[in-house]
Amino acid sequence: AAGGAEGGNRPDADVEAPTFWRYVVTALSSVLPEVGAAVMPQLASGQPVPVSLLATVLNDIASVEQEVELVLDDYHLADGVEVSEGMTYVLDHRPPNLHVVISTRADPRLPLSRLRVRGELVELRASDLRFTGDEVRTALARVMLQMTFLASQAWEMAHAIGLTLVRDGVTQ
C-alpha cells in the first residue's frame, strides 16, 4: 500500500536497538523519502538511539499528509529492552497518521494493557485464527465439491457427492 513500510523482519534473534531502528527508518524512507533523512547518519554509527532521534522520525511522519502503515514482522526477534523502550515511546507519541502493525510469536515487552484501555490495540491471537471442526468440514466439503465439478463433467458423481454431504449434515 502507498505509505506502507515493512521492517523488523530479521533472520537473527539478537537485533540491537541501533540496527532495529536503522531497518525501520530505512523501510519508512523507502516509501517516504522525507522521513528519517536527518537521523540516518546517527543510526548508521551504531550508537545508542536517543528518544530525540525517535521524536525526529515521528515529526517527519507527522509532516506527511498520507496515512503511514509500519508493519513489524517477527518482532519477537528484536524485542530487547532497548527496542521495547523505543517502541513504547513511538506508540505513546505516534502521530495520528501512523499505524503500527506488530506480528510476533510472543507478547512483546510493550504496555499492552495501557494500549487496550485507550482503545489503541487490536489483537488477533492464535485462538482467533483457528477453525472449528464444523468450519473445516464445511470448507473441505466445498473444495471437494468444486474440485469434482471442475475435474470432471460427470455431473452424476458430483450430484451423488452433494447428496452425501447434505445427508451427513454439511449443507454449506
Tens-digit pLDDT profile for residues 50-84: 999 999 999 999 999 999 999 999 999 998 899 99
Rg, Å, the chain Cα set: 23
Q: How many residues does the chain have?
A: 172
CA quadruple 83, 122, 32, 82: dihedral, nearest 10: 0
Question: Which pairs from 81-84 meet CB under 8 Å and 24+ separation?
Answer: 81/109, 82/16, 82/17, 82/48, 82/49, 83/15, 83/16, 83/17, 83/20, 83/21, 84/108, 84/109, 84/110
pLDDT at residue 9 above 60?
no
Mean of all residue pLDDT scores within the chain: 83
Give dist(CA 33, CA 147) in Å, integer. 48
pLDDT value for 20: 94
pLDDT value for 142: 76
Hey, how many other C-beta atoms are within 10 angstroms of the C-beta on 169? 10
| Percent residues over pLDDT 70 in the chain | 78
Give dist(CA 87, CA 148) in Å, integer. 51
pLDDT at residue 109 above 90?
yes
CA 132 remoteness from chain centre = 24
Give dist(CA 62, CA 71) in Å, integer. 17
Residue owning grid cell 507478547: 107
